[in-house]
């Protein structure tokens, strides 16, 4: 059975969806916790009890394990791990990126993944380090694409295959790789080799890489951000259209004594309180947690619950159409995340096309809000307004005789038809007292109206304090002080 993906609701480029592989269905966005059969601080049964609908494990580890290889082949992965949800298997590419070599071929790993009953198989793609040069990235990508074609040819169009998208930091390679994976019929595309970017907080570059891959990948495909990561970046990644995450972060952070929160992490010994509603945090003091022989396991339990809860929060935000607000909140947790957020806003044109038209609300949260899709889309619609020959745009609520029409003004959007006063975004937007940034943003709307309605006389009436901004933003505009 092929992998299918159904999109139920959208917000920015994020989606609420259903991923189906074989007879397993999971809600997306989803986090697949990583499980290693040799090392299980949290068991698959505990993951299920926490609400994980799927998990990911490494087929290469199973294939090399004296203890688990035969068991997995005879009983199947689901029974060995004790998990009846969706199980995805990685091929050994991760080992390849760490050790530079693996003792398995593409077809061997795929046949093994099939034999142990994995729900989603990953070919042996070549992860290109983001700091590799173009020559290397091209060479690696060629091998990866050849392996994807080999997988499709041998296993057929209906095999539950993932089509990883590589290309290093080269945006055109990422876009082409995504497009080619789509043309080969892959409906599930992991974006690979981005862990080094996330580990070194290079979120600005991460956004450009993901947005480029997304440009090539068909919009109907499910996208997996391989190796992500920290819950603080889930909202940003979902806003770009990533649907699946798979992190081992919950266990890796626990091993280092680190306590995850939705907006960051802390060394547990530096805490005085465990500010979280999970069972571990409500039944232990920091001191007890530190002294517990089970410290690593308890931290892993907490870390995973925080990560899964964040995914649920994101699904709710998409449902409500308030994902931008969650992205805004999370990305203020670290300056590099803020850089990623701003990089995403620079891709506004691409996002505008996938965002939904009506949302529950728009809360103004500062300068970044002016670049949101809702503002861009509102201003783009001003082009289509049919105007009489003379129009007054009133920033101060005053009206004057001699105009055929008076348009009210709301920053950061701009002028609007009075009939739209109650509709989204004008009616559902909450803004504080006007500031220069939002007024300037609204003036972009006036400029757009002026530029697309040259035959019309457009005049602005405003308070003295906004006059400079209006005149600067809309050169040559007539202003009534």
Report which of 224, 257, 241, 234 is spatially closest to residue 308, judged by C-alpha positions. Answer: 234
For residue 313, the minimal CB distance to Zn ion (Å) is 15
Of 142-150, 269-277, 361-369, 412-420, the segment contacting Zn ion by CB under 5 A is 269-277
Residue 281 near Zn ion by CB under 5 A: yes
Q: State which residue, 263 or 336, has the beta carbon closest to Zn ion.
A: 263
- The answer to whether 147 contacts Zn ion (rule: CB under 5 A) is no
In angstroms, the CA 121 to CA 182 distance is 16
Which of 11, 23, 84, 90 is an active site residue? 90
Q: Name the segment binding Zn ion (CB under 5 A); options: 97-105, 224-232, 287-295, 300-308.
A: 300-308
Nearest to 302 by CA among 262, 349, 344, 350: 262
In whole angstroms, how far apart are CA 79 and each of 44, 67, 84, 122, 179? 11, 15, 8, 20, 37
**Parallel/antiparallel/unpaired status of strands 405-410 and 390-394:** parallel
The yes or no reply on residue 50 touching Zn ion (CB under 5 A) is no
Stretch that binds Zn ion, among 197-205, 290-298, 302-310, 435-443 (CB under 5 A): 302-310
Determine, following the binding rule CB under 5 A, whether residue 121 of this chain makes contact with Zn ion: no
Applying CB under 5 A, does 377 fall inside the site for Zn ion?
no
Binding mask 429-468 for Zn ion (x = CB under 5 A): ----------------------------------------
The region of 5-13, 96-104, 278-286, 364-372 touching Zn ion under the rule CB under 5 A is: 278-286
Report the residue from 10, 78, 302, 448 that binds Zn ion according to the rule CB under 5 A: 302
Q: CA gyration radius for the chain?
A: 26
Does 276 bind Zn ion (CB under 5 A)? Our answer is yes
Could you give the maximum distance between any two Cα atoms of the chain, in Å? 89
Nearest distance in Å: CB 240, Zn ion: 28
- The residues, ordered by sequence, that sit 6+ positions from 369 with a Cβ below 8 Å of its Cβ are 324, 328, 362, 363, 375, 412, 438
Ramachandran assignment for 336, one of left (phi > 0), alpha (psi -120 to 50 degrees), beta (any other):
alpha
Query: Nearest distance from residue 266's CB to Zn ion, in Å?
Result: 12
Convert residues 203-242 into a mask of x (bound to Zn ion by CB under 5 A) and - (unbound).
Answer: ----------------------------------------
Task: Give the number of residues in contact with Zn ion, rule: CB under 5 A.
Answer: 4
12 binds Zn ion (CB under 5 A): no
> Contacts for 334-339 with beta carbons within 8 Å, 24 or more apart?
334/201, 334/232, 334/263, 334/264, 336/201, 336/202, 336/203, 336/204, 337/201, 337/203, 337/232, 337/233, 337/236, 339/203, 339/204
> Residue 323 CB, nearest distance to Zn ion (Å)?
24
Both tokens of 463, joined, read 């308070």
- Residue 246 appears among annotated catalytic residues: no
The CB-of-250 to Zn ion minimum distance in angstroms stands at 11
Q: Which C-beta is closer to Zn ion: that of 165 or that of 281?
A: 281
Q: Are 265 and 11 in contact (CB under 8 A)?
A: no
Shortest CB 276 distance to Zn ion, Å:
3
Question: Residue 284, interface with Zn ion (CB under 5 A)?
Answer: no
Counts of helices then strands in the chain (DSSP H, E):
21, 20
Element (H, E) at 204: helix 203-216
Residue 410 CB, shortest distance to Zn ion, in Å, is: 42
Catalytically annotated residues: 90
Binding site for Zn ion (CB under 5 A): 276, 278, 281, 302
């Amino acid at each position: 059975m092929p992998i299918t993906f159904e999109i139920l609701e959208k917000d920015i480029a994020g989606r609420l969806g259903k991923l189906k592989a074989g007879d397993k269905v999971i809600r997306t966005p989803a986090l697949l916790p990583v499980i290693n059969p040799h090392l299980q601080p949290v068991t698959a049964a505990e993951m299920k009890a926490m609400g994980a609908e799927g998990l990911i494990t490494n087929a290469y580890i199973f294939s090399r394990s004296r203890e688990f290889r035969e068991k997995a082949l005879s009983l199947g992965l689901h029974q060995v791990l004790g998990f009846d949800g969706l199980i995805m298997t990685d091929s050994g590419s991760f080992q390849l990126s760490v050790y530079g070599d693996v003792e398995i071929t593409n077809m061997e790993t795929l046949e093994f993944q099939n034999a142990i009953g994995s729900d989603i198989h990953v070919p042996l793609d070549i992860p290109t380090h983001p700091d590799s040069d173009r020559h290397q990235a091209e060479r690696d990508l060629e091998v990866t694409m050849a392996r994807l074609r080999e997988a499709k040819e041998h296993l057929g169009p209906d095999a539950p295959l993932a089509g990883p998208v590589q290309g290093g930091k080269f945006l055109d390679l990422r876009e082409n790789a995504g497009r080619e994976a789509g043309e080969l019929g892959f409906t599930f595309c992991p974006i690979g080799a981005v862990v080094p970017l996330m580990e070194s907080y290079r979120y600005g570059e991460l956004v450009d890489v993901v947005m480029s891959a997304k440009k090539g990948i068909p919009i109907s495909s499910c996208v997996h951000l391989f190796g992500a990561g920290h819950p603080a970046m889930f909202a940003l990644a979902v806003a770009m259209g990533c649907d699946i995450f798979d992190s081992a972060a919950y266990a890796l952070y626990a091993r280092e004594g680190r306590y995850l929160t939705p907006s960051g992490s802390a060394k547990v010994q530096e805490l005085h309180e465990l500010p979280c509603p999970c069972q571990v945090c409500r039944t232990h003091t920091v001191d007890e947690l530190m002294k517990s022989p089970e410290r690593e396991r308890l931290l892993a339990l907490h870390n995973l619950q925080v990560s899964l809860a964040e995914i649920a929060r994101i699904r709710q935000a998409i449902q409500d159409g308030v994902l931008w607000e969650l992205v805004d909140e999370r990305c203020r947790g670290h300056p590099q995340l803020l850089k990623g957020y701003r990089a995403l806003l620079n891709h506004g044109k691409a996002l505008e096309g996938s965002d939904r038209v009506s949302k529950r609300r728009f809360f103004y949260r500062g300068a970044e809000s002016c670049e949101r899709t809702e503002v861009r889309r509102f201003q783009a619609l001003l082009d289509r307004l049919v105007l009489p020959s003379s129009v007054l745009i009133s920033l101060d609520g005053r009206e004057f005789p001699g105009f055929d029409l008076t348009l009210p003004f709301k920053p950061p959007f701009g002028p609007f038809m009075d009939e739209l006063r109650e509709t989204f975004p004008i009616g559902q937007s909450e803004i504080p007292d006007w500031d220069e940034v939002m007024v300037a943003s609204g003036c972009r709307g006036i400029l757009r109206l002026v530029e697309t309605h040259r035959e019309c006389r457009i005049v602005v009436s405003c308070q003295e304090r906004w006059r400079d901004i209006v005149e600067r933003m809309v050169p040559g505009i007539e202003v009534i002080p």
